[in-house]
Amino acid sequence: MSDIKSGGVDNKPALVETLAQAFQTDPALSWILPDPAHRSRALRSLFRVLVPADMRAGIALRAAGDEAAALWRAPGQAHSGTLEFLRTVVPLVATFGTALPRGLTVQAGIDAHRPKGRFWYLHYVGVRPDHQGKGHGGRIIRAQTAVADDERLPCWLETATPENVPLYQRLGFVTQVEWDVPRGGPHFWGMMRPAG
């Protein structure tokens, strides 16, 4: 998978842009931030916070042409700690504004349903809209699941996008839990890929 590379400091703007574009129509983020124009701005701010945080906790991967990006948190790093919370709380409050309660509701559901233990956590993966359906998502996920297989570790993800569930199943992920975010929020699937 020579077209998949580890993202470094120089790649942060491209990683942010790829993920912001990819998540513009995500059901969970659309519920949190219903106005599309506000969501577009907020997603860039959100990923400017999340990309460096996830790089510290794991690895960022990118397609060579920035068609796709993935943020993986290393085993034992799925749950953010106090220091990370303090580092990110002010920028996230500024990003979400009055939508923060919805964002916290979604995050609480994710935290409540994420398993304990050691696994690679696929925090975010996305493909720019004009490159979707061309295999970039599968390639960037397989690049890290191969590492997990070498380490004999499982992988975990959550998705609120029904169309993505079959893709993840083809990549070896199995649904472990489903839940609905309260107050009319989206439906989520929590999926585990067993250790290879």
Instruction: For 164-184, write each residue's pLDDT tens digit.
Output: 999 999 999 999 999 999 989
* pTM of the complete model: 0.92
Q: Where are the domains of the chain?
A: 4-193
pLDDT grade, residue 162 (50/70/90)? very high
Distance CA 109, CA 105 (A): 6
Q: Which two tokens stand for residue 44?
A: 């860039």
Distance CA 134, CA 58 (A): 26
CATH among 3.30.930.10, 3.40.630.30, 3.40.50.300, 3.90.1200.10 for 4-193: 3.40.630.30
pLDDT tens-digit map of 52-102: 999 999 999 999 899 999 999 999 999 876 556 556 666 777 788 888 889
Nearest to 22 by CA among 61, 64, 91, 69: 69
